[in-house]
Every structure is written in C-alpha cells, then in structure tokens.
Amino acid sequence: MFAVRDEQAALDIVQDAMLKLTEKYAQKPAGELPMLFQRILQNTIHDHFRRQKVRTTWTTVLSALGKGDEKDEDFDPLETLPAKSDSNATEDPAAQLEQAQVVGLIEDAIARLPARQREAFLLRYWEELDVAETAAAMGCSEGSVKTHCSRAVAALASMLKGKGIAP
C-alpha cells in the first residue's frame, strides 16, 4: 500500500505476487518462501510502475493529438492522423472496384492458359525464379521455359485485349 499509494492496486499486486509464488515455487521448503515472496513482491511492484509509465506515456502522446467534443464518447485520437501517402490503397471506391475487376480478369485469363504455360508463367513472374530455376522446377530445358513463357505472355495479352484491358 505504501509503495504504490493505491489500495486497489496494492491488493492486485499482492495477489499477483502470491500467484507467482505458488505457481513457480510450490516445491520449495517453507523456510525459503518468505524471502522468495519478498523478492517476487518487489519485482511485481516494479512491473506495476513500468506499466503505469508506459500507459502514462501513451495517454500523453494520444492526448496531444487532440480532443473530441465533450459529448463525443467514441472519439478516437488515432482517427485524426492522416493515412500514409505511400499506401497502396486508393481512397476512391470506384477505383478500388475497377482494380478488383481487372485482377479478377487477369486471374481468369491465367487459369485458361495451358498447364505448362501457366506453370512456367507463374514460376517466372509470380515466384520470381530465373530461367534455370524454373527449368529445374519444371523438369525441362531452359529453352522450353522461354518458349512457354513467351506463349503465355502472348496468350494473356490477347485474352486481356479482348476484354478491353491494354498494357
């Protein structure tokens, strides 16, 4: 009580210290328990002050962001911060929808490729493997990988151009 100057916090700290003592040191002889309890209690008090310092720091930092109206109980100071400008999310819902539709068309076009072309294309351009690594993964020559990739790119360009998507 004297260490933390708050009766409720003191009771919580003593309870936490007792739990730690029983959980970790129940097998110790009874003569050692008072000294262990004192050490655990002191450490728990230090932890309390550390947590309190962190909470105070964040409260101070967040309160510097501004205050909502006195009537506004749901005010969140983090909402006052601007979004990062390098975020890849667009703010325009129409642009988000258009982007999602284009991605869907590209995924459909990739799914319609022949299996070997799709495999070569995904390994080279999605997994970013080089030609030799792709050839080893596919069990074919480097020339075959180049041919499959070239045909896949041409087929994708044709399919997407037919859907109105140009590079």
Residues contacting residue 23 through CB under 8 Å, at least 6 positions apart: none
pTM over 0.85: no
Predicted local distance difference test score (pLDDT) of residue 27: 92
Please give the distance of CA 87 from its chain centroid, rounded to a whole number. Answer: 15
Q: Tell me, which fold does domain 93-162 have in CATH?
A: Arc Repressor Mutant, subunit A (1.10.10)
> Residue 75 above 80 pLDDT?
no
Burial of 134 from C-beta contacts in 10 A (0-12 / 13-18 / 19+):
buried
Percent of the chain with pLDDT over 70: 78
Give residue 41's pLDDT: 92
Average pLDDT of the residues in 133-155 = 92
Kindly indicate the confidence band of residue 20, based on its pLDDT and cuts at 50, 70 and 90: very high
* DSSP three-state, residue 96: helix
Residue % of the chain over a pLDDT of 90 = 40
Region(s) of the chain under CATH 1.10.10.10: 93-162
Q: Which residues contact 106 (CB under 8 A, 6 or more apart)?
A: 156, 160, 165
The closest alpha carbon to 67, from 57, 79, 55, belongs to 79
